[in-house]
Chains A and B, each alone.
Chain A
Amino acid sequence: EAQVTQNPRYLITVTGKKLTVTCSQNMNHEYMSWYRQDPGLGLRQIYYSMNVEVTDKGDVPEGYKVSRKEKRNFPLILESPSPNQTSLYFCASSSWTGGYNEQFFGPGTRLTVL
């Protein structure tokens, strides 16, 4: 089954404790991205990647890191989480033909930083 998976689905952590949210897709997509969803603000892009070893900042990259060492994986790293990073996070992927393709979303990771 074609899908985007994220782990963990739920995470409660404390300020300053480094964490990684994994994202994996099995559709051989070139393009992957991370979004966060907050009440009243909608979904906002954090980082995106157009292919292996190619990443760039989205609208709200502060406090986050990403890497793209393999085509199927695009982990999101919070080196020193803070309470304002409490949010619902989504990973998405699509094939890349200049932006005309449907994006597929993972199930989401609900993160709480105390």
Chain B
Amino acid sequence: KQEVTQIPAALSVPEGENLVLNCSFTDSAIYNLQWFRQDPGKGLTSLLLIQSSQREQTSGRLNASLDKSSGRSTLYIAASQPGDSATYLCAVQAGTASKLTFGTGTRLQVTL
């Protein structure tokens, strides 16, 4: 059974810092990995999608990497801003049902 773990569970950083969020998964037979952002009481916003054949994806200040063989992904956020404060979720997609298996998230707070 696929399990997804995110470390740390919570993180507080001052504005301007670069930071890394970690995601690990137990079964490397995945189609892709997605990073999402969730604001309190809101839905999920897709940030980056990395296909299993890819090593990384970039969007603006965000860069996500994937090492499928070791079951790891990282989300790098450059020059963090207070508006980046949210919970970040990673999810892997696998199996005939195309199910997403989610981690429990990293709650990020960027302070002034």
Contacts and interface: CB of A to CB of B under 8 A. Distances in A.
Interface residues of A, number: 29
Contacts of A58: 97, 99
Contacts of A103: 34, 46, 93, 100
B97 A100 contact: no
Contacts of A99: 31-32, 93-96, 98
The SS class assigned to the A binding surface is strand
A96 B93 CA distance: 13
Nearest to B94: A99
B104 interface: yes
A19 interface: no
B51 interface: yes
Interface centre among A31, A35, A100, A110 (most CB of B within 10 A): A100
Contacts, number: 67
Interface residues of B, number: 27
Nearest to A109: B43
A56 B97 contact: yes
Interface of A: 31, 33, 35, 40-45, 48, 50, 56, 58-59, 90, 92, 94, 96, 98-100, 102-108, 110
11 contacts: A40-B104, A42-B89, A42-B102, A42-B105, A43-B102, A48-B97, A96-B98, A99-B95, A102-B32, A103-B34, A105-B43
The 7 closest A-B pairs by CB, nearest first: A99-B98, A107-B43, A105-B44, A43-B102, A99-B31, A42-B104, A42-B102
